[in-house]
A = this chain, B = another copy of it.
Amino acid sequence: MNERFSSMLLEKAVSEFAKLPGVGRKTAMRLVLHLLRQDTAAVEAFGNAIVTLKHEVRYCKVCHNISDTETCRICANPQRDASVVCVVEDIRAAMAVEATQQFRGVYHVLGGVISPMDGIGPGDLQIESLVLRVAAGGIKEVILALSTTMEGDTTNFYIYRKLEKMGVKLSAISRGISIGDELEYVDEITLGRSILNRTPFMGGVGS
């Protein structure tokens, strides 16, 4: 035990916080002392929130997103279009798409991307369940919304090969210049692709 700590309970709490990614011991100390200044109910709310989440969290049996119930709120929502499935890497990607408020379909969370370097193959991901989901019928379009990395591209291609003969429309999120970017600062690959993949100009702003 470190003599710097006058309290073992404090040392234990700081050690636990310092295990979090990107949190060093000084930051951990600052966070723990901050919580210690809050009232007991607030500290209990903090501690219980993460423990309860861990105990009670489930994964949606349809889309594999994190859920409180057997079927997640998005899959269970009758106002969402269950015939359009957006394939994402993880829950954070699903949340990023939700935040745009541009998508009213449903999701399929793969749980990662194919990455031989990290020992992640198709069998480690929810790809087979996507194929079964499409095979079960009712799905018109599958939108591939993975990261624009080599691993994302590999996974896109793998899924494409699995689904191409199943009579479902396959699309991928568009790649190009970010809104607000100045052309001279865009990297050559993105700019080159955005010229090749140019879209008809409809006369509107941002179209």
Known contacts A29-B92, A74-B6, A50 near B54 by CB under 8 Å: no
Known contacts A6-B74, A29-B92, A46-B16, A54 near B67 by CB under 8 Å: no
Bound form: Cα–Cα A73–B10 in Å: 13
Q: Mark A32-69, 1 if CB is under 8 A from B, else 0.
A: 11111000100111111111111111001000011110
Q: Mark A11-30, 1 if CB is under 8 A from B, else 0.
A: 01101110111110001011
Q: Please state if A10 and B53 are interface contacts (CB–CB under 8 Å).
A: yes
Q: Please state if B47 and A5 are interface contacts (CB–CB under 8 Å).
A: no
* Interchain CB contact (< 8 A) of A66 among B7, B51, B57, B60: B7
Q: Please state if B50 and A48 are interface contacts (CB–CB under 8 Å).
A: no
Q: What number of copies of this chain does the assembly contain?
A: 2
Q: Please state if B46 and A50 are interface contacts (CB–CB under 8 Å).
A: yes
Tell me if A9 is interfacial: C-beta within 8 Å of chain B: yes
Q: Please state if A9 and B43 are interface contacts (CB–CB under 8 Å).
A: no
Q: Mark A95-116, 1 if CB is under 8 A from B, else 0.
A: 1001100000000000000000
